């Protein structure tokens, strides 16, 4: 195959500029100037560097491209159209409700692996995508186009350090250094050396070039390809709005398209004039050499061995999680685990010992842990990132974007609630259910004992999309038979009688408080129905409605979580149109250090509080 | 005053070690080894470097100390006890429910400015505290003790770059390089040069020392004090567990105290033996030279000029926010604003133009924006950090800790919900209410028009603790008189009749959908009550209960937010024990790009959806 012609690549870049300008003008919104700064880089990447099949963007061995600066979406769409993935004129549907060419890229499009547009996330996803190449033994390379403005995000530097730690020489970043953010200049402006010093200090090979010089771009990409043992960052000096005189160098054009009429006509004329006559052959995109498909995932829930506990054993759910994770990893090699330096608390260290080649240490950097899990999931791995539940909130915005991408990631958070005890509020997850339930396509499980923890971990693996497992620190007694079945949207009725005066809905550690309340009230001849709502989202609406109806529409919810966004909310919504009276027991102030039992009682989620609530509802 | 004696400082360090070991043993939990690695540093800082008054830890001109590695709390408590802030034997109450000496430091203690324990946050707070010194014209210096493990957090590097950008030579970090994290070695181990390269690349002066050599520590601190125009990071090579042979160098001791009995006795004997005989004078802590108190904050809500709008004007709430912010800044110089490169979208650029010396640019780095606001708030400033609401989620864990610290910060998020239109889901905040409502001491306002936006911005300034203002992108018509009053926990009944069949609770952009539904239904002779729930937290419980009772216990909630954690939840809980039927209208799937009107309708929160819901509730 002949070397790609620079003239041809220049013309492609001009075409990408034309399409970026006219599609945003047609849409009446969007970010043309940021497309124009990166058009030469993208033309070189797509038509002289990357190996892929435009007709099969998800080919497992194809090189990957992540547009971290997601507001450059029109350029991405123009490039895939130019490559033949869809008809060029479709770019004019940009941002229309009937088109998947959205304002920022999402995986609704087959050529998008992870949604971008929340800046600073693309490189972490790229780390995961590059790790996946190693996982499947593929030569594919991963390219991430980063904005200089977004390089201020700490998440970029978390990704940088892990890429270097993992020696990802199959990962190449290109920073579009156009020196302008949305509202002003970037931190470093055009000081490429200052940027290069940062990347080098974080262990990368860094090279500075003129980002509008196609030959220089090609040379830098070749240099990156030849690099061994470390990732490469190409720092490309560019001009925002390059090629359109109205835009170029101006700083008040961010996120603004040209108006139809004279402005657009002038820009089109300028861009048309940049097309050079050439007889060089058109570039041919090389396809991936081989294709290895991993096939569908197994039915993990069915394949898992039965839990090896007896009723009454005292085992923390976090420990059962670690045991289940090892078993899942033995069932399928796509199961991987990620940690942020708490593996000995979450028990993911068991997975590391069993499957060391599929365990990724992120150190104390939760954003890259979740971001690289997103990248891994986008390429077919089944990642289980875990940490203390409260520290997953550090990655809240990544989790939001994982929801938008509908990625198959399984988050596990341990040390939920005040029941952790003495470590104090900074270590207690009391808003993690609110965070995860706010992801509309997320499934949320909250086991109370080791059997349900193992079963729900397996069910998480079998349930598509984002899943969250909430785990507790203290040991709790096993209450379920090893053969007990659990399902998405299910619940367990643990106590029920004909004359129950109220339904108590609990989950996790509060199940045991509800059982204790039942025992006390029973002694007085008062019956309550006790439900273990292990599936927080979706919740067992029908089961809850039936229980509420059977108990005089009196319901108490009790959770080791703040009052908002958790179990009480889920139950209230499920019962919304029933007209039930729902009394919510939850933590309603910032807690403090103390023993677990002291804290459960002080914050009103103990058996005593449940008994009081039942009495009040009857009054 | 004579130079402090190194022997005396060594003995103080030994005392701090003794207290850290015995208090954690007494508590039965905690992290003694991380205290021992940093004891020499803390002894030197507290007794030979810092200027403060142990009897008045909040003195506005005192040097500040932030323990970013919050699990070193026992060391912090031992140091303040040694300085005389409280009786030494009180350290034995560590982690007990009746003591404020919690597992990780919180501002329940007068000498703690910001809660720590979620790692990687202290330096961002330190940036804000150092900026505050500049704001009040004080010479006080800010010291932050950072863990080497937590230096993997991206937030640390966001703080690093802003400290350098702001040329904070009054800020000094000390990294306790003990090379051990919780579950294994840190990323860089003992390679101080690798760490120094990072800090230098981020614009800091960096110096590597032996962290157990008191004289070297003092010299490095003096070097930092002499540095002009840039912050200093002292990289201190230490050993986790230093001074106790059972601990030293071992890696399975993180978060574990010694057992009472032989282990503790041996450690105490070893530490006692490290006390050296000396006749040197005891160090005297120098007190701050002057004291300038800023006094109580004014009543901003009362002092604000009336909004200058007429009913029917079309003004975006985010724009009214910008206008109000300028006015607040004119009322009191403690009002400051922070941005993350979207000031021209949030209209905080108006504040920058009016009060440029009190406007802090964080570039695209939301964690340091919120973290430095936390630091500023802890020292008496009244910070308003703002961004797109969805990008505030990047700082979710900082916001959690701001709640734990009960800091007086006023977060403003613009571009809430699908009503932003074409930019697509990555730019839409649809879970921000869930995030903010989960902070139990946070107040949450959601104005629908420019008058309420201005009034609620002023009310935010007057309301103690964390406050969140949710703002919309589109222009909305002004519906309130300029003199209308708004209050924490209030609501406005916009439409009411004697025969209303249901109450529709709306907020923000959906208020106008509810008003349109009212108009349509009125034409058919059906009355609905329309409530603007501008105070989402606390919500107007009494008002909602009265409205529900007056409308047959039929309630519809409608919000431009996901179904979980937002307005519907707040209303459901308020009505929980009433037995009302609550039908919740909210966004229930990942949305896409489209026009605002298309999206409101597609996702079921338009006037049409409200009308349908009212009809269904009546059926």
Q: Please write the tens of the pLDDT for every residue from B533-576.
A: 999 999 999 999 999 999 999 999 999 999 999 999 999 999 98
Above pLDDT 90, what percent of chain B? 96
CA distance A28 to A24: 6
Q: Which helix or strand (DSSP H or E) is residue A586 part of?
A: strand A581-587
pLDDT band at A7 (very low <50, low <70, confident <90, very high): very high
Average pLDDT over residues B581-607: 97
| Cβ A115 vs Cβ A105: under 8 Å | yes
Q: Compute chain A's Rg from CA coordinates.
A: 27
Average pLDDT, chain B: 97
The residues of B assigned a catalytic role are 366
Predicted pLDDT of residue B289:
84
CA distance A291 to chain B (A): 32
B104 in reach of chain A (CB within 8 A):
yes
Q: Rounded to an integer, what is the distance from CA A228 to the centroid of its chain?
A: 29
Q: Is the minimum CB–CB distance between A493 and chain B shorter than 8 Å?
A: no
Comparing CA positions, the residue from A398, A395, A416, A394 lying closest to residue A345 is A416
Report residue B79: phi and psi, to 5°.
Answer: -65, -45
Model confidence pLDDT, tens digit, residues A516-574: 999 999 999 999 999 999 999 999 999 999 999 999 999 999 999 999 999 999 999 99
Q: Are B562 and B589 in contact (CB under 8 A)?
A: no
The answer for A 52-71 residues in CB contact with B (under 8 A) is 70
Residue A141 CA to residue A221 CA, distance in Å, equals 11
Q: What is the pLDDT of residue B250?
A: 66
pLDDT classification of A255: cutoffs 50, 70, 90: confident
CA–CA gap between residue A428 and residue A592 (Å, rounded): 10
Residue A312 burial (10 A CB sphere; 0-12, 13-18, 19+): exposed
Predicted TM-score (pTM) of this structure? 0.98
pLDDT band at A292 (very low <50, low <70, confident <90, very high): confident
Q: Per-residue pLDDT averaged across A424-451, rounded?
A: 98
Q: Is the link from the previous residue into B538 a cis peptide, with omega within 30 of 0?
A: yes
Structure tokens at B231: 């912050």
Cα–Cα dist A105/B134, whole Å: 42
Cα–Cα distance between A573 and A583 in angstroms, integer? 13
- The minimum CA-CA distance between A592 and chain B, rounded to whole Å, is 7
Q: What is the mean pLDDT of residues A203-225?
A: 98
Rounded Cα gap, residues A165 and A187, in angstroms? 26
Per-residue pLDDT, B273:
98
Å from A344 to nearest chain B CA?
A: 6
For strands B64-67 and B142-147, give the pairing: parallel
Give the pLDDT confidence score for residue A1 in this predicted structure. 60
What is the distance between the alpha carbons of residues A521 and A519, in angstroms, rounded to a whole number?
6
pLDDT digits (tens, 9 = 90+) for B41-56: 999 999 999 999 999 9
Mean pLDDT of B175-202: 94
Residue-level pLDDT at B292: 84
* pLDDT digit string, tens, across residues B271-300: 999 999 999 999 999 999 888 889 999 999
User: For residue range B357-412, what is the model confidence (pLDDT) as tens digits?
Assistant: 999 999 999 999 999 999 999 999 999 999 999 999 999 999 999 999 999 999 99
Report the pLDDT value the prediction gives residue B290, as an integer from 0 to 100. 83
Compute CA distances B382 → A35, B163, B389, whole Å.
39, 20, 19
User: Are residues A277 and A438 in contact, defined by beta-carbon separation less than 8 angstroms?
Assistant: no
DSSP type of residue A166: T
Neighbours of A151 (CB within 10 A): 30
B64 close to B142: Cβ distance less than 8 angstroms: yes
> Could you give the ipTM of this predicted complex?
0.97
Put simply, the answer to whether B181 touches A361 (Cβ < 8 Å) is no
Q: Tell me, what's the pLDDT at B249?
A: 58
| Separation between Cα atoms, residue B296 and residue B303, nearest integer Å | 14
Q: Confidence band (pLDDT; 50, 70, 90) for B1? A: low
Which of B25, B32, B183, B254 has the most A C-beta neighbours within 10 Å, making it the best mutation to test the interface with A?
Answer: B183
Nearest to A154 among B155, B592, B617 (CB): B155
Examine the residue annotation and report whether A352 is marked as an active-site residue of this protein.
no
A603 touches chain B (CB under 8 A): no
Residue pair B60/B294 in contact by the 8 Å Cβ criterion: yes
Question: Average pLDDT, stretch B9-34?
Answer: 97
Tell me if chain B has a CB within 8 Å of the CB of A441: yes
Task: Single out the catalytic residue among A61, A150, A158, A366.
Answer: A366
Please state, in angstroms and rounded to a whole number, the distance separating the CA atoms of residues A108 and B299: 50
Chain B residue numbers with beta carbons less than 8 Å from the beta carbon of A394 are: 118, 153, 155, 396-397
Provide the sign of the torsion angle of the four alpha carbons B79, B80, B84, B88, taken in this order: negative
Rounded Cα distance between B225 and B202, Å, is 19
A91 and A19 in contact (C-beta within 8 Å)?
A: yes
- B589 close to B582: Cβ distance less than 8 angstroms: no
Cβ neighbours, 10 Å, residue A539: 25
What DSSP assignment string belongs to A493-523? EEE--TTEEEEEEE-TTHHHHHHHHHHHHHH
How confident is the prediction for chain A on average, in pLDDT? 97
A250 pLDDT band, cuts 50/70/90, is: low
Kindly tell me if the per-residue pLDDT of A249 is higher than 80: no
Q: How many CB atoms are closer than 10 A to CB A39?
A: 29
Q: Is B590 exposed, middle or buried (0-12, 13-18, 19+ CB in 10 A)?
A: buried
- B563 burial level (CB within 10 Å; 0-12, 13-18, 19+): buried
pLDDT of residue B248 exceeding 90, the answer is no
Closest CA to B84 of B277, B287, B281, B267: B287
Residues B150-179, mean pLDDT to the nearest whole number: 97
Whole-angstrom CA distances from A134 to A29, A278, B191 are 40, 40, 28
Which of the residues A71, A117, A183 would you substitute to probe the B interface, choosing the one with the greatest number of B C-beta atoms within 10 Å?
A183
CA B422 to chain centre: 31
Q: CA-CA distance, A475 to A486, in Å (whole number)?
A: 21
Contact check, Cβ <8 Å, B197/A198:
no
Q: A103, B365: Cβ pair inside 8 Å?
A: no
CA distances from A254 to A241, B365, B447 (A): 9, 18, 28
pLDDT of residue A248: 83
Residue B555 sits at the vertex; the CA angle it makes with B551 and B556, to the nearest 5 degrees, is 135
**pLDDT of residue A251 exceeding 80:** no
> Which long-range contacts (C-beta less than 8 Å, at least 24 apart) are formed by A92-95?
A92/A22, A92/A23, A92/A26, A94/A23, A94/A24, A94/A26, A94/A27, A94/A30, A95/A27, A95/A29, A95/A30, A95/B422, A95/B424, A95/B593, A95/B594
Question: Which pLDDT belongs to residue B314?
Answer: 98
Residue bearing the bigger pLDDT, A289 or B345: B345
pLDDT at B349: 98
Q: Which residues of B475-484 are buried (b: 16+ CB within 10 A; e: fewer)?
A: ebbbbbebee
> Does B193 have pLDDT greater than 80?
yes
Ranges assigned E (strand) in B420-484: 443-445, 467-470, 475-477
Angle between helices B450-462 and B317-331 (to 10 degrees): 40
């Amino acid at each position: 195959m002949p070397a790609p012609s620079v003239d041809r690549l220049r013309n492609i870049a001009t075409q990408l500029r034309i399409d970026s300008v006219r599609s945003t003008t047609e849409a009446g919104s969007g970010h043309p100037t940021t497309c124009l700064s990166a058009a030469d880089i993208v033309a070189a990447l797509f038509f002289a560097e990357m190996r892929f099949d435009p007709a099969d963007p998800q080919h497992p061995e194809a090189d990957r491209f992540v547009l971290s600066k997601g507001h450059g979406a029109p350029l991405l769409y123009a490039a895939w159209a130019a490559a033949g993935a869809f008809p060029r004129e479709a770019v004019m549907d940009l941002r229309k409700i009937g088109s998947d060419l959205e304002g920022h890229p999402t995986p609704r499009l087959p050529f998008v692996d992870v949604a971008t547009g929340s800046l600073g996330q693309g490189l972490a996803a790229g780390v995961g995508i590059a790790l996946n190449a190693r996982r499947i033994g593929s030569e594919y390379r991963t390219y991430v186009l980063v904005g200089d403005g977004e390089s201020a995000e700490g998440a970029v530097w978390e990704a940088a350090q892990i890429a270097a730690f993992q020696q990802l020489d199959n990962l190449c970043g290109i920073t579009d250094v156009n020196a302008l953010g949305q509202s002003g200049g970037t931190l470093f402006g055009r000081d490429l050396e200052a940027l290069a010093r940062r990347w080098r200090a974080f262990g990368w090979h860094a090279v500075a070039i003129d980002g509008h010089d196609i030959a220089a771009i090609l040379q830098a990409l070749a240099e990156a390809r030849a690099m061994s043992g470390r990732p490469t960052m190409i720092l490309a000096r560019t001009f925002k709005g390059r090629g359109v005189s109205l835009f170029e160098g101006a700083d008040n054009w961010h996120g603004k398209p040209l108006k139809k009429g004279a402005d657009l006509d002038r820009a089109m004329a300028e861009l048309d004039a940049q097309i050079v006559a050439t007889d060089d052959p058109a570039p041919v995109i090389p396809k991936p050499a081989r294709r290895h498909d991993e096939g569908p995932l197994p039915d993990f829930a069915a394949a898992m061995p039965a839990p090896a506990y007896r009723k009454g054993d005292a085992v923390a759910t976090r420990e059962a999680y670690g045991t289940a994770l090892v078993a899942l990893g033995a069932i399928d090699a796509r199961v991987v685990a990620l940690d942020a330096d708490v593996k000995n608390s979450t028990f993911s260290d068991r997975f590391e010992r069993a499957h060391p080649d599929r365990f990724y240490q992120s150190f104390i950097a939760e954003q890259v842990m979740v971001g690289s899990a997103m990248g891994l999931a986008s390429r077919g791995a089944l990642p289980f990132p875990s940490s203390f539940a409260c520290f997953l909130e550090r990655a809240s915005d990544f989790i939001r974007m994982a929801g938008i991408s509908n990625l198959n990631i399984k988050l596990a958070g341990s040390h939920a609630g005040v029941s952790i005890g003495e470590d104090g509020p900074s270590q207690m997850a009391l808003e993690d259910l609110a965070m995860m339930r706010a992801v509309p396509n997320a499934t949320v499980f909250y086991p109370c004992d080791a059997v349900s923890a193992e079963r729900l971990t397996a069910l998480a693996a079998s349930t598509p999309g984002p899943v969250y497992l909430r785990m507790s620190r203290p040991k709790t007694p096993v209450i379920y038979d090893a053969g007990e079945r659990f399902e998405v949207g299910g619940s367990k009725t643990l106590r029920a009688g004909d004359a129950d005066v109220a339904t108590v809905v609990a989950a996790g550690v509060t199940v045991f408080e509800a059982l204790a309340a039942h025992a006390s009230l029973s002694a007085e001849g008062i019956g309550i129905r006790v439900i273990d709502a292990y599936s927080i989202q979706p919740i067992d609406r029908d089961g809850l409605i039936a229980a509420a109806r059977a108990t005089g529409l009196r319901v108490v919810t009790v959770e080791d979580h703040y009052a908002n966004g958790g179990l009480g909310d889920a139950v209230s919504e499920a019962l919304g149109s029933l007209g039930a009276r729902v009394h919510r027991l939850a933590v309603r102030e910032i807690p403090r250090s103390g023993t677990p039992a002291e804290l459960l009682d002080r914050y009103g989620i103990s058996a005593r509080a449940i008994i009081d609530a039942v009495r009040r509802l009857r009054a």
